[in-house]
Amino acid sequence: MLTSYIADMPEAMMLACVGGKTSPVTMAMYKYFGDPFQHEPRTRSKTLVQLDKVRSRARPNDIEAFFCKAQKFRLNGIDKPFWSDWLLADLSRFLTPESLHHIHKQFWDHDVQWIILAVGGSEIDFQFLVIQPTTGYRHFHGASADAVPAGVIVAVRALMHFRYLVQSLCIDDKDLGRITAALSEFHANKHVIIAAGLHQGKGGKVTDNWQIPKLELMQNIVPSIRNSGVIAQWSVDVTEHVHITVVKDPARSTNNNNYDPQICRYLDRADKCNRFELATSLLDHSQREDPGVVGDEFVEEDDEIDDDVNDFPAELLSSI
């Protein structure tokens, strides 16, 4: 049984065998990402049926023809996914949401950009500068009056409420109801964001659609919590930290060409240095603990010397 595979959006799409602008957890394509409901879940059996149809029309060895046929089903051309023989491995279940990419990054990529367009980047910076140390809770009524239409505030507040609730460590049925209601409130008011000209694409042009993959994934959070528990348990903190220590830091030691072999060489040499340090530390420790060692000279107190102390580090050294 595959319970969870923690991945960001591109990795999830690769694992689900789907192509671009296609949901990895439902059967929805990009045109339906803004719908206020969850689409049909993407399951193991449905994906395998689609792959069988593609194989019946093109051989996997003919990569170009196979990929062309796979695109008609919005698949990416992967022939044999690793989960194909896992009986309990539905994509809508094991591709669990996590806070960094599905919550925090979406907030920055969209919500923050709407507010910056509404009040200006300099005003946002100024408001952060004048924030006082937190000593309690106060409500400043009307602080953002007339900056944006009321519907924009309602929509953004609903998304913020949604994000706070889904990151709770304990969630019951009542909480799930509140989460669903918050997402529904956003969808009921999202049109005001477009009407205010705040929803823009990369070129700065106002966008009149909601073709946002992470917005569609939000519909799968409540079902995921029901199936697998709270999303706080699916954290990418460890993997993201390793990405720094084994990729980014070694990359800084390269000449910015041929990253892969240079990073591998860096990691190999670092590993050898660590093993050498461990080996010398074990030898030094064994000599310090050996009662038969006085300074640099060995004292033979008995013809039968207990070699257990020396054998123990040797066993470790043989595995290094």
State whether 214 and 286 are in the same domain.
Answer: no
pLDDT tens digits along 60-99: 999 999 999 999 999 999 999 999 999 889 999 999 999 9
State whether 103 and 214 are in the same domain.
Answer: yes
Q: List 277's β-bridge partners, or say none.
A: none
**Structural domains counted in the chain:** 3
Q: Chain-centre distance of CA 212, in angstroms?
A: 16
pTM of the model: 0.78
Separation between Cα atoms, residue 76 and residue 13, nearest integer Å: 9
Q: Does residue 149 have a pLDDT over 80?
A: yes
pLDDT tens digits along 15-52: 999 999 999 999 999 999 999 999 999 999 999 999 99
Which tokens sit at 97?
Answer: 């949401």
Q: Does residue 184 have a pLDDT over 70?
A: yes
- What is the SS3 assignment for 181? helix
Q: Match 């309990």 to its residue by tokens.
A: 88
State whether 46 and 34 are in the same domain.
Answer: yes
State whether 243 and 313 are in the same domain.
Answer: yes
Q: Is residue 4 part of a domain?
A: no
State whether 197 and 183 are in the same domain.
Answer: yes
pLDDT band for 291, please (50, 70, 90 cuts). Answer: low
Torsion of CA 105, 109, 111, 117, to 10 degrees: 150
- Give pLDDT, residue 147: 78
Q: Which domain does 74 fall in, by range?
A: 9-94
Separation between Cα atoms, residue 27 and residue 200, nearest integer Å: 26
Q: List 298's β-bridge partners, or say none.
A: 293
Give the domain-ending residue among 219, 235, 251.
235
- Give pLDDT, residue 299: 47
pLDDT band for 104, please (50, 70, 90 cuts). Answer: very high
Instruction: Tell me how crowded residue 282 is: count the other CB atoms within 10 A of its CB.
Output: 17
Give the side-chain half-sphere CA count within 13 A for 186: 23
State whether 157 and 43 are in the same domain.
Answer: no
pLDDT tens digits along 200-256: 988 888 999 999 999 999 999 999 999 999 999 998 888 888 989 999 999 999 999
Of 178, 208, 175, which Cα lies nearest the Cα of 193? 208
